[in-house]
C-alpha cells in the first residue's frame, strides 16, 4: 500500500515548491499518516457493513435465515424433537 510521495502531495493539495522544501523525514511522516487515514476509513466502512449484517434478522432481511448464516443455535428440546422424527 506504499504510495508515491508526489501522488500524496497532489492528493493533499500541497504545492510542489512547498513539498520540495519539506525535509524528507517530514515528507515520509506525512505519507505514512495519509496512508493510515485512508486505512482507518476503509476499516470504518468494513465495520459499518459488519454491523449492518449483524443487525439483520428475518423481519428486515430479504434472505432466508439459512442463507444469512446467523440463525440462533437450537435448544436441546428442538434437537431432541428433530431426532425423534
Please give the distance of CA 28 from its chain centroid, rounded to a whole number.
25
Residue 78's pLDDT is what? Answer: 62
Q: Where are the domains of the chain?
A: 1-57
3-state helix, strand, coil in the chain (%, to 5): 70, 0, 30
52: nearest Cα among 42, 64, 60 = 60
Q: Is the pTM of this model over 0.75?
A: no
Predicted local confidence at residue 50, as pLDDT: 93
Asked whether the beta carbons of 1 and 39 are under 8 A apart, the reply is: yes
pLDDT in tens, the chain (85 residues): 457 999 999 999 999 999 999 999 999 999 999 999 999 999 999 999 999 888 877 676 676 666 655 555 666 666 555 555 5
The pLDDT value given to residue 58: 66
With cell 432481511, the residue in question is 61
Amino acid at each position: 500500500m506504499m504510495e508515491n510521495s508526489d501522488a500524496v502531495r497532489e492528493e493533499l493539495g500541497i504545492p510542489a515548491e512547498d513539498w520540495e522544501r519539506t525535509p524528507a523525514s517530514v515528507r515520509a511522516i506525512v505519507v505514512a499518516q495519509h496512508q493510515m487515514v485512508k486505512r482507518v476509513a476503509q476499516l470504518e466502512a468494513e465495520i459499518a457493513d459488519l454491523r449492518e449484517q449483524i443487525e439483520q434478522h428475518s423481519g428486515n432481511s430479504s434472505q432466508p435465515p439459512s442463507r444469512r448464516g446467523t440463525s440462533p443455535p437450537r435448544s436441546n428440546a428442538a434437537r431432541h424433537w428433530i431426532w425423534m422424527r
